[in-house]
Structure 1
Amino acid sequence: MRTMSTPQSEAQPTSLTQYTMYSVFRRPPGAPKITELDAALRELDEALAPNEADGVIVRGFYDVSGFRQDADVLVWTHGEHPEALQAAIRRIRTTPLFEQLDLSWQVVGVHRAAEFNERHMPAFMYGKEPKSWICIYPFVRSYEWYLLDEAERSVMLRDHGMRGSAFTSVLANTVAAFAISDYEWMLSFEDDELLNIVDMMRDLRYTEARRHVREETPFYTGRRIETAELPLVLRHVKSLEA
């Protein structure tokens, strides 16, 4: 089987407006196996080809199998125009590798000034290289949070941010999702070591700001993969040929 690399996304976006889409797919039981895998990978290549012209960046494909019963592959894309993201995921879903998959979870967010730091931007907007592991999840504040005194909120957010900043290798990506999903915020964290993400998330529980959390699940966690690994992750083959 030929080797095909995951599209890279190290280039810094040219626009300060960036929409981002997380799409989680699951191969349902009984779905037929694909026998012409090289052709299927070529079709995926062709489906990804228009992305550059449309301003869509594929941050990565991720193996999320084994962590949850409803997930095998996560696709993360971002770009300036939401309609371009819609078109990109439609093209992916028409390919043989994806057309038989169930879309089990999907959220879109957009970069807006963060409530704790107006200069904060997601790591992917700084042109940071994708890391090996990712954890994504939605986030909803308590109703009372937005009625608190601004100074009180600032103290709690500063403490929360300082705890997170101790984990210097972790890349943070926070985008607003209110009005375009069922959540207020969408978060993802990247690191080359999964334990760093786990330890950071555990540490962030010990802050006052967490008293004002209404929802912060589901979690989807996985490893960034090359597209050539998709047949293995989706159980079309038992191993990859050398």
Structure 2
Amino acid sequence: MWSVFRVDRPLGDEARHRVADEVSELFAELAGKDVVVRGTYDVAGLRADADLMIWWHAETPEALQEAYSRLRRTALGRHLAPVWSQMALHRPAEFNRSHIPAFLADEEPRRFVCVYPFVRSYEWYLLPDEERRDMLKEHGMQARPYPDVRANTVASFGLGDYEWMLAFEADELHRIVDLMRDLRASRARRHVREEIPFYTGTRKAVAELVADLP
């Protein structure tokens, strides 16, 4: 799940280290319940409507809902207003069933992330399997020059307004930009109906993130 917030009430001179410590303690407690916070991200400036994003995952949606609610009840949470949140679920890929998202393969998170939803065209699911498989293979081949950009594609049918969620992770932001640009030339692009909003940010420790908030 990706949850995006904006600062609704500035923290001002409040003891930010105590605010950050409370959130860090919450995350540590959640880890004991198998709720993993993959990263907290600074999205300020990259978006005019948001300041931070949390990427967390767990075995059950209820665990994530509880984590979300508990964050809202912290001192930091009382200064935040929700902007956007989307849950997704790992299911076998359409044709490459061996594909495992980077976050489930225990890969280390990278410095930058770009998160966005997408919805396929109405025609996509009616095309012959072989045609769809061929387009997705081409799409994958175009991404091969970017092995340092790690992909996370997860299903969100019925969990919100979208069909899929995608998160690209990389240590250099320009690599995500270049990959996204190059993938525009694939035939599968003709079958994307929607792919906004984009939330891109820098991964930061909680204390650093809180220190930078208004």
TM exceeding 0.5: yes
Q: Distance in 2 between matches of 1:59 and 1:32?
A: 24
Decide whether the 8 Å contact of 1:116 with 1:158 is kept in 2: no
Partner of 1:184: 163
Q: Distance in 1 between matches of 2:142 and 2:201?
A: 24
Give me the CA root mean square deviation.
Answer: 1.2
Alignment of 1:97-136 (within 5 A): 97-136=76-115
Q: How far apart are residue 34 of structure 1 and its match? A: 4.8
- If the length of structure 1 is used for normalisation, what is the TM-score? 0.85
Q: Distance in 2 between matches of 1:214 and 1:156?
A: 16
Q: 1:22 is aligned with what amino acid?
A: W
Q: Secondary structure at the match of 2:146?
A: coil
The structure-2 alpha-carbon separation of the partners of 1:36 and 1:63, relative to structure 1 and needing over 3 Å to count, comes to: same
Decide whether the 8 Å contact of 1:64 with 1:71 is kept in 2: yes
Per-residue Cα deviation, 1:128-161 (whole angstroms, up to 9, x for no partner): 0000000000010000000011111111110001
Q: Distance in 1 between matches of 2:143 and 2:172?
A: 16
Q: How far apart are residue 52 of structure 1 and its match? A: 2.1
**Pair 1:23-2:23 in alignment:** no
Q: How far apart are residue 172 of structure 1 and its match? A: 0.4
Partner of 2:34: 55
**Pair 1:86-2:76 in alignment:** no
- Structure 1 residues without counterparts, runs of 5 or longer: 1-20, 236-242
**Pair 1:230-2:206 in alignment:** no
- If the length of structure 2 is used for normalisation, what is the TM-score? 0.96
Q: Distance in 2 between matches of 1:146 and 1:136?
A: 23
Q: Distance in 2 between matches of 1:31 and 1:138?
A: 29
Partner of 1:208: 187
Q: 1:208 is aligned with what amino acid?
A: R
Q: Distance in 2 between matches of 1:47 and 1:91?
A: 8
- Structure 2 residues without counterparts, runs of 5 or longer: none
The structure-2 alpha-carbon separation of the partners of 1:154 and 1:230, relative to structure 1 and needing over 3 Å to count, comes to: same
Decide whether the 8 Å contact of 1:73 with 1:233 is kept in 2: no
Runs of 4+ in 1 over 3 A off after TM superposition: none
